[in-house]
Amino acid sequence: MTEKATALTATRTQVDEAVAQAVREGLTAQPKRLPPWLFYDEAGSRLFEEITELPEYYVTRTERDILTACSGAMIAQAAQGKRVRLVELGAGSADKTRLLLAAAVELQGKVLYEPLDVSASALTEAKKRIEREIPAVTVAPRVMDYTQGLHGLEPDAAGERRLVLYIGSSIGNFDAREAGPLLERVRAGLELGDGLLLGVDLIKSEETLLAAYNDAAGVTAAFNRNMLVRLNRELGADFDLEAFSHRAIWNASESRIEMHLVSRAAQRVRLAELDLQVDFAAGESIHTENSYKYAPGAAEKMLAEAGFAPVGCWKDAQGWFAVCLGRADQDVELPGLEATEDVTLPAPDRATALDPVPPRRGNRASAAGQKQ
């Protein structure tokens, strides 16, 4: 077994233990919950890929459009004339990441890419595909929970910059109390001058949001229910899949989509491996995911609060999604942006660059000349 293959399997037991602990905690809590990383076993990772192709799921498509138009600028901004290596939190299939990797290869030739994920199957597929399609990229995957910080990565080479990719709106799974410390832990693992590229989903019409999480083909429902399939297999549980419905709602006061599995009747579920019985009332839900949607300017603020100076933010012309770059800095000034201060440059195509982000409120409108 090669060293890299070992990295894919070494943490298997840790992942199993984490599943057991998260399920015990979540199903004995009130209200009941399960963490969204549990979606991503092999079947869940495949279902997520299907979701990204759905007509209603604008998220992946929109971010991909931005990356298609702007990857070169993002990589150049992150590199600042040096070599870059890329790390990705929750890389999944790394499908969109290939755009950034190709831009890095164009800039510097060989590139080291370290995707981190709890899904070993997704990483195995990503590594195979990327090394076949972009041979100048070396993929060094790690099966790990990125919420615990960045550790076990290849050490920095002198004169290199690390660019951490946290795209795909994954930060939206965390509420503000969790997201801030998570980004701070990432910052703590970086050197001055390293970068964080953060992809966030922006607030839009409720109709568009709800359609994306309630697709007509029922793929998101299958993705949500797959969590129960996983618990049946891995924890000897006896969830009856037909006895739980998928529900996605827009919680406007929290600015988030919530996904739930709702018990259709009063029932008792047994989880043999945990020696646990869980009672459900009719209509009681298991909260499986939050997906926060952000106001313009919120990503820059999150970056700044975690110690990254916001240096660029790229958005599609509809203002549905933003990919923002922060640079690890010593003394970061809050950009002080608010929803009403957001600006999009006139766009000849679907993506526009807003670069650099002015440090103070009010500068932005005069710099870009157009206010939304």
Ligand X SMILES: C[S@@+](CC[C@H](N)C(=O)[O-])C[C@H]1O[C@@H](n2cnc3c(N)ncnc32)[C@H](O)[C@@H]1O
Q: Quick one: which of 78, 91, 111, 257 contacts ligand X (CB under 6 A)?
A: 91
Cβ at position 351, least distance to ligand X in Å: 16
Is position 90 an interface residue for ligand X (rule: CB under 6 A)? yes
Give the separation between CA 191 and CA 174, rounded to whole angstroms.
Answer: 25
Per CB under 6 A, which region of 116-124, 260-268, 284-292, 341-349 contacts ligand X? Answer: 116-124
Is position 145 an interface residue for ligand X (rule: CB under 6 A)? yes
Sign of CA dihedral 237, 263, 47, 181: negative
Q: Cβ of 366: how many Cβ atoms within 10 Å?
A: 10
- Residues 190-229 within binding reach of ligand X (CB under 6 A): none
The count of C-alpha atoms lying within 13 angstroms of the C-alpha of 161, restricted to the half-sphere facing its C-beta, is: 25
Is position 147 an interface residue for ligand X (rule: CB under 6 A)? yes
Is position 118 an interface residue for ligand X (rule: CB under 6 A)? yes
Give yes or no for a contact between 308 and 333, defined as CB atoms under 8 angstroms apart.
Answer: no
Is position 92 an interface residue for ligand X (rule: CB under 6 A)? yes
Q: Quick one: which of 56, 117, 194, 341 contacts ligand X (CB under 6 A)?
A: 117
Is position 111 an interface residue for ligand X (rule: CB under 6 A)? no
Nearer to ligand X, 57 or 280 (CB): 57
- Structure-block tokens of residue 123: 């990483």
Give yes or no for a contact between 302 and 179, defined as CB atoms under 8 angstroms apart.
Answer: yes
Give yes or no for a contact between 122 and 45, defined as CB atoms under 8 angstroms apart.
Answer: yes
Name the burial class of residue 30, with classes exposed (0-12), middle (13-18) and buried (19+) by CB atoms within 10 angstroms of its CB.
exposed
Q: Quick one: which of 103, 164, 167, 353 contacts ligand X (CB under 6 A)?
A: 167
Give the separation between CA 61 and CA 46, rounded to whole angstroms.
Answer: 17
Per CB under 6 A, which region of 14-22, 164-172, 186-194, 307-315 contacts ligand X? Answer: 164-172
Stated as kind and residue range, the H or E segment containing 247 is strand 244-251
Is position 294 an interface residue for ligand X (rule: CB under 6 A)? no
Per CB under 6 A, which region of 89-97, 200-208, 310-318, 333-341 contacts ligand X? Answer: 89-97
Q: Which residues bind ligand X (CB under 6 A)?
A: 37, 40, 45, 48, 60, 90-92, 96, 116-119, 122, 145-147, 167-168, 170
